[in-house]
């Protein structure tokens, strides 16, 4: 059980969406909260909204930039102290056919979704190891379990995140450390990031999803899909079905392969 009271929690992408909700939930649990986000206006808005709920700090960071990550991590450690719980939540999506991606689309998606969780974790892991206590929660995606048209690069980034995250968990276990690692794989969440998506499987609500993630951290869950049946469905289906039959099951029966047909994403 991870107790959050009096812990310092850092959330990337913490000024909007489920990141912002998790910040509020952490404050309700008497944690000290640090949010990293690329949008300064949203950081200011979030801090103003939550300042009467507890200690909350905000830093403007582009997590695709290693120099910004390192500089801001040092500032956090100098001004606030060691981070006890790290939630790698920042993410982006480009919804288009692979042939239509630019090299910038590809590089930026991999930098934010795949590289940043590793690079941010690297900045705080040694402190956790030194105190032999900590929790790292990586928000991946059910897209890291199932291939999907018009999500190829996003899916690649999330497959990467899942593989790294659970490998890190095993390393911490082999080291007999008290550092827990939780990998979260949610379905589409109704935050605006996936605006336009149409799905037969219910799209997740942000409040309930954020609460499920916080509870997973408290319970030291290792891996969690939201909803829970996604993992069993996909892994079992991929194990016992032929590729052609799974394509029919996921594509025609569940309709997953057509979910991105009307994708528009966040409005600029």
Residues with active-site annotation? 154
Query: What are the residues whose beta carbons fall under 8 Å from the beta carbon of 64, sequence distance 6 or more?
Result: 108, 111, 112, 115, 116
Q: How far apart are CA 31 and CA 18, in angstroms?
A: 17
Q: Which of 174, 146, 150 is nearest to 233 (CA)?
A: 146
- Can you spell out the DSSP letters for 56-110? EEEEE--TT-HHHHHHHHHHHHHHT---SEEEE-------S-GGG--HHHHHHHH
Query: Tokens in use for 12?
Result: 């990337």
For residues 161 and 204, the answer to whether their CB atoms sit within 8 Å is no
Query: What are the residues whose beta carbons fall under 8 Å from the beta carbon of 187, sequence distance 6 or more?
Result: 142, 199, 201, 203, 204, 225, 226, 227, 230
Instruction: Give the up-direction half-sphere exposure of residue 261: CA atoms within 13 A in the CB hemisphere.
Output: 8
- Quote the distance between the C-alpha of residue 224 and its chain's center: 12
Q: How far apart are CA 121 and CA 10, in angstroms?
A: 11
Q: Which of 86, 117, 99, 123 is nearest to 10 (CA)?
A: 86
């Amino acid at each position: 059980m991870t107790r959050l009271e009096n812990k310092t929690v850092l959330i990337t992408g913490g000024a909007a969406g489920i990141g912002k909700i998790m910040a509020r939930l952490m404050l309700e649990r008497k944690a000290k909260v640090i949010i990293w986000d690329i949008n300064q206006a949203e950081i200011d808005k979030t801090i103003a909204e939550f300042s009467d709920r507890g200690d909350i700090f905000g830093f403007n960071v582009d997590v695709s930039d290693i120099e910004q990550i390192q500089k801001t991590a040092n500032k956090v450690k100098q001004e606030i102290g060691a981070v006890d719980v790290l939630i790698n939540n920042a993410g982006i999506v480009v919804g288009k056919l692979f042939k239509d991606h630019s090299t910038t689309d590809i590089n930026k998606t991999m930098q934010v979704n795949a590289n940043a969780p590793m690079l941010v974790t690297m900045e705080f892991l040694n402190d956790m190891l030194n105190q032999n206590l900590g929790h790292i929660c990586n928000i991946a995606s059910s897209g890291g379990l199932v291939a999907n048209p018009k999500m190829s690069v996003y899916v690649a980034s999330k497959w990467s995140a899942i593989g790294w995250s659970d490998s890190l968990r095993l390393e911490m276990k082999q080291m007999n450390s008290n550092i827990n690692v939780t990998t979260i794989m949610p379905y589409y969440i109704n935050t605006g990031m996936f605006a336009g998506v149409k799905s037969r499987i219910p799209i997740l609500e942000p409040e309930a999803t954020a609460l499920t993630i916080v509870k997973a951290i408290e319970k030291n869950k290792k891996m969690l899909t939201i909803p829970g049946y996604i993992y069993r469905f996909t892994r079992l289906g991929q194990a016992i079905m032929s590729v052609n039959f799974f394509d029919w099951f996921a594509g025609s029966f569940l309709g997953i392969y057509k979910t991105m047909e009307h994708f528009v994403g966040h409005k600029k």
